[in-house]
Structure 1
Amino acid sequence: MKPDNDSNREISSPSVSTTLADIFGFFALLMRYPKKSFFDDEFLDTLENLLAKLDLEPLRQKICAWRSSVDDPLPDAQIEYTRLFINAAPHLIAPPYGSVYLESEVSLQGKSTETTRDFYRRYGFDIVNTAEPADHISLELEFLSCLYRQHEITAAETFVRTLFLPWFEQFYHQLMAELRHPLYEVSIQLISLFVQEDQ
Structure 2
Amino acid sequence: MIDTTMIRILGAFFYYPPQSDTLRNVYSVLGELPQLCTWDNPEKIQAICTSLSQTQPDDISYDYSILFEGQGSMPAPPWGSVYLEHDNTIMGESTAAYRDFLQTKGLVTDTGIREPEDQFGLMMMAVSALAEQEDDSAVIALFEQHLLPWAYRYLELVQQSKTESTFYPSLAQITEIYLKSLQLKLELSPVRAELFR
Which band: TM-score by shorter chain? Answer: 0.7 to 0.9
- Please, what TM-score do these two structures have when normalized by structure 2? 0.79
Label 1:39 to 1:135 Cα distance change in 2 as closer, same or farther (>3 A): same
- Looking at structure 2, the residues matched to 155 and 65 of structure 1 have their Cα atoms a distance apart, in angstroms, of 34
Aligned to 1:46, which of 18, 24, 29? 29
Percent identical residues: 21
- Looking at structure 2, the residues matched to 53 and 66 of structure 1 have their Cα atoms a distance apart, in angstroms, of 16
- Looking at structure 2, the residues matched to 36 and 175 of structure 1 have their Cα atoms a distance apart, in angstroms, of 21
Deviations 1:64-111 (A, max 9, x none): 44665x7xx11112211112222344x211110000000011111101
Label 1:63 to 1:113 Cα distance change in 2 as closer, same or farther (>3 A): same
Aligned to 2:47, which of 46, 49, 61? 61
- Looking at structure 2, the residues matched to 27 and 130 of structure 1 have their Cα atoms a distance apart, in angstroms, of 21
Aligned to 2:133, which of 150, 155, 169? 150
Residues 63 and 182 in structure 1, CA contact (< 8 A), matched pair in contact too: no
Letter in 1 for 2:46: R
Aligned to 1:163, which of 128, 146, 153? 146
Consecutive unaligned residues in structure 1, runs of 5 or more: 1-10, 12-16
- Which moves more between the two structures, 53-62 or 94-103? 53-62
Letter in 2 for 1:194: Y
* Structure 2 counterpart of 1:83: 66
Aligned to 2:83, which of 93, 96, 101? 101
Label 1:149 to 1:52 Cα distance change in 2 as closer, same or farther (>3 A): closer
Label 1:25 to 1:66 Cα distance change in 2 as closer, same or farther (>3 A): closer
- Kindly state the Cα deviation for residue 195 of structure 1 after the two structures are TM-superposed: 2.4
Aligned to 1:117, which of 99, 107, 112? 99
The answer to whether 1:34 aligns with 2:54 is no
Label 1:66 to 1:136 Cα distance change in 2 as closer, same or farther (>3 A): closer
* Structure 2 counterpart of 1:195: 179
- Kindly state the Cα deviation for residue 39 of structure 1 after the two structures are TM-superposed: 2.4
- Which moves more between the two structures, 127-136 or 99-108? 127-136
- Kindly state the Cα deviation for residue 38 of structure 1 after the two structures are TM-superposed: 2.3
* Secondary structure, aligned partner of 1:106: coil
- Kindly state the Cα deviation for residue 154 of structure 1 after the two structures are TM-superposed: 2.0
Residues 172 and 188 in structure 1, CA contact (< 8 A), matched pair in contact too: yes
Q: How many residues align?
A: 177
Consecutive unaligned residues in structure 2, runs of 5 or more: 189-197
Instruction: Give the structure with the larger helix fraction.
Output: 1
- Please, what TM-score do these two structures have when normalized by structure 1? 0.79
* Structure 2 counterpart of 1:25: 8
- Looking at structure 2, the residues matched to 121 and 75 of structure 1 have their Cα atoms a distance apart, in angstroms, of 36
Q: Compute the RMSD of aligned alpha carbons.
A: 2.1
Q: Which structure has the larger Rg?
A: 1
- Kindly state the Cα deviation for residue 169 of structure 1 after the two structures are TM-superposed: 1.9
